[in-house]
Each structure stands twice: as C-alpha cells, then as structure tokens.
Amino acid sequence: MTEKTFEEAMEELESKVESLSAGHLPLADALRTYEEGVALVRLCTARLEEAELRVSRLSGD
C-alpha cells in the first residue's frame, strides 16, 4: 500500500467511489470498499502534503 504512487492511489480511489456508487455490492464488500477508499483518501492527502518537486538533469553527450 505504501508503495502505491499518488496517481495509482487516486485512480484506485475514484474507481472505488464509482463501484460503491453503482450499488450491487454485497454489504461486506461495500464496507470493505469504503474502508479501502477512506485509506486511499488518507494516503492521497498525505502524499500531496509531503510532495516536493524533484528535479534532475540529463547530461548532454
């Protein structure tokens, strides 16, 4: 979970929101999806707060 990039987490989060919105999930799955979604929200927020632009330079030839 900690290895997930922000982008992956964000995409996963949005897909969880979608599947939860679509209904049809059994209750246990819905609850699990929700919990995972909340964890992803936390992860994404944390990533945003920690983020710092990393700049590197490609050397010429």
Partner 1 sequence: MQSLLSSPGVRDAFSVSELVQALRSVVGGHPALTDVLVRGEIGSVSRPPSGLAYFTLKDAAAQVPCVMFRTSLAAIRFEIRGGIEVVVRGDVDVFPAKGQTQLVVREMSPIGRGAFWLAFEQVRDRLAAEGLFASERKRALPQFPRRIGIVTSEAGAALQDVLAVLGKRYPLAEVLVSPCLVQGDAASVSITCALDRLAGRVDVAILARGGGSVEDLWAFNDEGVARAIARFPAPIVSAVGHEVDVTIADFVADVRAPTPSAAAVTVTPEISELRGRIGVAQTVLDGRIRERIAAWRERVASLRTRIDPEAAVSRVRDARQRFDGVTASLEREWGRFLRGLRDRLGAIAARLEAVSPLGTISRGFAIVTGEDGGLVGSITAVSPGDEITVHVSDGALEAVVEERRRTAR
Cβ(29)–Cβ(35) under 8 Å? no
Q: Does 56 bind partner 1 (CB under 8 A)?
A: yes
Q: Does 34 bind partner 1 (CB under 8 A)?
A: yes
Instruction: State in angstroms the smallest separation of the CB of 13 from partner 1.
Output: 5
Cβ(59)–Cβ(39) under 8 Å? no
Cα distances (angstroms) measured from residue 61 to each of 12, 57, 58: 40, 12, 9
Binding residues (CB under 8 A) for partner 1: these are 5-7, 10-11, 13-14, 16-17, 20-21, 23, 25, 27, 30-31, 34, 37-38, 40-41, 44-45, 47-48, 51-58, 60-61
